[in-house]
Amino acid sequence: MPHTSRTFAGRPSASTDPSRSTGSRRRRAFAWRRRLITLSLPVLGTVLASGVAAPASASQPRPADPAPSAHQGAGAPSSLRVTHRSTSHASTSSTGRPSAAARRVMAHLNPVANIAPAPNFLVAGPCTNASGSWSCANPCLSTSLTWPSFTDAPACNQYVLRAIDHARAVEGLAPMTLPSTWYSLTTTQQLFVVTNLERVARGLRPYRGLNATLSAAAQRAAASRADPALARGFAVATTRGVPAWGGAWSGGFSVLAADYMWMYDDGWGGSVAATSNVACTTSTARGCWGHRDELLGYDPGYNPGVGLDATNVVVGAGFARVRSSSSFTVLLERPAGAPPPMTFTWAKDVAPYL
């Protein structure tokens, strides 16, 4: 296809992306490459979710695809169980022997391959046109065949949830259940909720709640499309002399889509171009699955994290719309003393509504 028929946006080049700098201590989050097809140009077919082109008239536009091609087919077939890489680290906190749940997570820490989203919310799927209005298998697209910069629409959320539940089934986990208050929550509160839902599904204790100081740091990072840094003025605990913290950044169009990419598509995609995690440069790079590991509380490739068995971790979350895309951040820190004030807690604001 001629170069004039599409533009690329979303993933910074190696020369401009701060995550590629040699001075970066921590691995950076993935960025989505949004492929925008110029709708006014004639094309030969409509791309199906399977990647097969269906016959189409010369005037029919091709639905856009917001993600690298690796997300269209990488990972394990749905009929297969995914095995995991394990770690030999003996402890996840300063409290001694890990709990049974923590040992299970460490024994099956990460999938050995990305899990292909099913349904694939990163492609349009088959689309039909009625009276100038488009309808696609993927409800996240608009009637004009455009991807949203951000959406919390129920139909799109349910579509992405089906993919999350499929990935969880491959890992032997229960489906994700959102709280009944989901649509009354802010985007940052939703980020806190899904982070905890991933921990709880694996038998781990939820993080306590959102803290204003951490959220301010996470918001600054979201506005800059960068990983969050340690919050200024927050007394953080240490594990073996290392600050007990972690975090992640994601681009994309929804909270649930970001969760999927952090948790189930954070590994090696077979090539750099097919890998969404820019720090996962080879199949054995330390950055592979780093976002998943840090959000769960244990990143053996980089630091002890907040701890799989931690019970007093507080969270910061940020959300911004930058360059026609959403920017999501989550920051985790284990306080050095008693838990600080929180603006939103799991015990009060989430658990009663599950």
pLDDT in tens, 126-141: 999 999 999 999 999 9
- Spatial distance between the Cα atoms of 192 and 342, rounded to a whole number of angstroms: 12
The more confidently predicted of residues 218 and 57 is 218
pLDDT beyond 50 at 168: yes
Q: How far apart are CA 5 and CA 38, in angstroms?
A: 5
What's the pTM value of the predicted model, to 2 decimals? 0.78
- The pLDDT > 70 percentage for the chain reads 73
Helix (H) or strand (E) holding 13: none
| Region at 19 (left for phi over 0; alpha for psi -120 to 50; beta for the rest) | alpha
As given in the structure block, the two tokens for residue 114 are: 């990305």
In this model, does residue 308 exceed pLDDT 60? yes
Count of other CB atoms within 10 angstroms of residue 9: 16
Which candidate, 325, 347, 335, 302, places its Cα nearest to that of 25?
302
Query: Which among 186, 294, 300, 207 is positioned nearest to 249, based on CA atoms?
Result: 294
Give Cα 66 to chain centroid, integer Å.
Answer: 15
Residue with the bigger pLDDT between 152 and 37: it is: 152
| Residue range 326-334: mean pLDDT, rounded | 98
| Rounded Cα distance, 167 and 164, in Å | 5
The two tokens of residue 75 are 């990972």
Mean pLDDT (whole number) for 157-173: 97
Q: Which residue has the tokens 């990983």?
A: 227
Tokens of 228: 């969050």
Q: pLDDT tens digits for 217-257?
A: 999 999 999 999 999 999 999 988 899 999 999 999 999 99
When pLDDT is cut at 50, 70 and 90, the band that residue 94 belongs to is very low
pLDDT at site 96: 65
Low-confidence winner among 55-69, 216-230, 328-342 (lowest mean pLDDT): 55-69
Closest CA to 32 of 282, 259, 252: 252
Q: How far is CA 340 from CA 15, 235, 293, 344, in A?
A: 40, 10, 24, 12
For 21-34, what is the mean pLDDT? 36
Domain count, the chain: 1
Domain containing 272 equals 3-353
Q: Which two tokens stand for residue 107?
A: 């024994």
